[in-house]
Amino acid sequence: MIMASSHELQRRADQARERLSERLGELSDQLSPAAVVGDLLSIDYDQARQDVTQFVSKHVRGNPLAFALIAAGVGWLLISEAGTRLAKPRPGGATPGRKRRHTRARPRKAASSRRRP
């Protein structure tokens, strides 16, 4: 194996740096805010919606059990979240539509044997 001279290694390193600099320049041009907004404005939303619909329908037909389990999980999550929102206590202490329940027993006042005048 022939070893490259230091001059050859330096030349290769300079070329690699130049290529990297060009690629980073191209990438920064593509990721500029103006380019990103332009890309978002040029999206054909009808075509994207159609593509997503086709993708989902294909996979639902291929895996109906998986889809049913996912749908059940999402439904369960939505129902449980709706239930916790309804049961959140209000600043006054009682929840809407429910009576306030006392969990601790209050001590009763002992009847005094003395009468007040």
pLDDT tens across 87-103, in order?
666 666 555 555 555 55
Q: Where are the domains of the chain?
A: 10-42, 50-84
**CA–CA separation, 59 and 26 (whole Å):** 37
Using alpha carbons only, give the angle 35, 38, 42 rounded to the nearest 5 degrees: 140
**Which one of 3-12, 41-50, 69-78, 94-103 scores highest in mean pLDDT?**
69-78
pLDDT tens across 55-111, in order?
989 989 999 999 999 999 999 999 998 877 766 666 665 555 555 555 565 666 655
Q: How far apart are the first and last CA of the chain?
A: 119
Q: At how many degrees (to 10) do helices 64-86 and 45-62 cross?
A: 110
**CA–CA separation, 45 and 51 (whole Å):** 10
Q: Could you say which DSSP state residue 93 is in?
A: S
Using alpha carbons only, give the angle 25, 36, 29 rounded to the nearest 5 degrees: 10
**CA–CA separation, 68 and 55 (whole Å):** 16
